[in-house]
Amino acid sequence: MNNFEFYKLQSFKDKRGSLIPLELKEFIDWAPKRVYYSYRNSKSRGGHCHRMEKELFICLKGSFKVKIHDGKDWHEKTLNSCEAVKVDNMIWHEFTDFSEDAILLAVSSTNYDPQDYIRDFDQFLKEKNA
């Protein structure tokens, strides 16, 4: 079983415009505690993993590259509008190559806790593969 999963979100269009409903129960099995978004990114974001936190990342607009390491292999995918990726705890994740108009929305399973982060890749591998 993967500890991450990519999704294509369903968009509904009519004469009024477009709508993308997010029934979170279809993507996550935990209660959201925090939501944040990132925009006007000129540098990479992420570059860490969490010991406890799980996240759902949604590309609201534009595009960016997602790089994930599961403890064994790297996985890369460019997310465009209407796409998402769910990342469980102890999965390294980073975001690069943001388009100028990119907006990244994150839904988190925890409130912010700086002690939950592993920011050193070698330390992540050591803990993940222990």
- pLDDT at residue 1 greater than cutoff 60: no
**pLDDT (0 to 100) of residue 62:** 97
- pLDDT at residue 2 greater than cutoff 90: no
User: Which CATH architecture best describes the domain 4-128?
Assistant: Sandwich (2.60)
C-alpha dist (Å) from residue 52 to 35, 90, 111: 16, 7, 11
| Average per-residue pLDDT for the chain | 95
Mean pLDDT of 44-71: 97
- pLDDT at residue 54 greater than cutoff 90: yes
**pLDDT (0 to 100) of residue 130:** 87
Domain layout of the chain by residue ranges: 4-128
Mean pLDDT of 1-17: 89
Q: How far apart are CA 130 and CA 109, in angstroms?
A: 24
pLDDT digit string, tens, across residues 92-115: 999 999 999 999 999 999 999 999
Helix (H, G, I), strand (E, B) or coil at 117: strand
Mean pLDDT of 13-34: 93
**pLDDT (0 to 100) of residue 98:** 97
